[in-house]
Structure 1
Amino acid sequence: MSDTELNLARTGGHSVSRVLFSAEQIAQRVREIGAEITEAYPRDEELLVLGTLKGSFIFLSDLVRSINRPMEVDFLVASSYGSGTTSSGQVNLLYETPASIEGKHVVLVEDIVDSGTTLNRLIPLLRGRNIKSLEICALLHKHIATDLAQEPRWLGFDCPLEFVIGYGLDHSEFYRNLPFIGVIDP
């Protein structure tokens, strides 16, 4: 970790115990996923890339710039964490896209799949809108959800069963700006 990364990692009262995925590893994987999404949809059909805020905003930003085709971009705001390090089990939908999604291919971009609570709340909501298709793109997957409504088609990385921060992921709103993904000290 560089001195700048180390100083960024110390904000918020905690420090990073180790880097899981470097900025370079993330950038390479995002380019690969972008190319896969580009190839997955006919260019003459409408695509909506829908990010879940706040955690996916950096991933989504890099991802859409690596998708080489016309698309719309919008966001949903859903929260199940509050200020803790484990999911509360309840998802609050704070903002829903005003965009018309009927008849479109929708790629739902999620920062991390852990308990599956957020996805399980959003998937039926989106499917009920007469969309053409729905696929999930997740930066990280912990593989602990036992009843996930739909597995991600595109996945950045498998994630250990630890609390991770950086590249959009936070702890009490800190660490989103880190260019890497790391494990936070307890």
Structure 2
Amino acid sequence: MTRPTTTLATLTAAAALLLTGCTQQAPEPLPTQATTETPTPTPTTAIGPYEAAAPKDEATAINDAAAAYQQFLDIRAELNANPGDTKPIEDIAQASALTDAQGDNEKLAKAGAHVSGGNTFELDTDMSYTSPVLDGNGNTTNEYGTATLKGCLDRTKLIIVNKDGSTSKGADHDPRFKVEVIAVYDVQQGRWYIDAERYHAEETC
């Protein structure tokens, strides 16, 4: 199967800062309370592949691929909220989309930082289109199996929480900008994979 590959403009991870604790003194006659660690966030996103029937027309392919991309963004946000484990992203991403997501998560983990919130994709149906998926011999396995999605990526709710508790937006440009996404349908597994993202940060939306 031929799967296109493009370059991802990666998330800017916050710098690692030293974490300082504090001790809380309870009113008399209660003793001083020990500092407690912030509990690890509990995953709320349905983490896993985006499974769907093989698309039989362009409209279905575009809508399913867009839903798969939003699930990819949600899973990525969930994993970046507690960095360290990127295994689940392998069920829904491949090529540069996978390696860039893994790299961003690793940067956050090394910095002792994490992400709060996430990204939302707004699909431009009129500008999106499909093309066939080909196998290793150049034969078409699905006429609509490669979706090129165009739309707006909304990062207004994305916040990077540094190790010391300070926050940053993680971007030096408008939080809403155009994005192009390649999604590929795997006929054998019956699921969509996000293959690549192209950020157009200079084009706001």
* TM-score, normalised with respect to structure 2: 0.22
* TM-score, normalised with respect to structure 1: 0.24
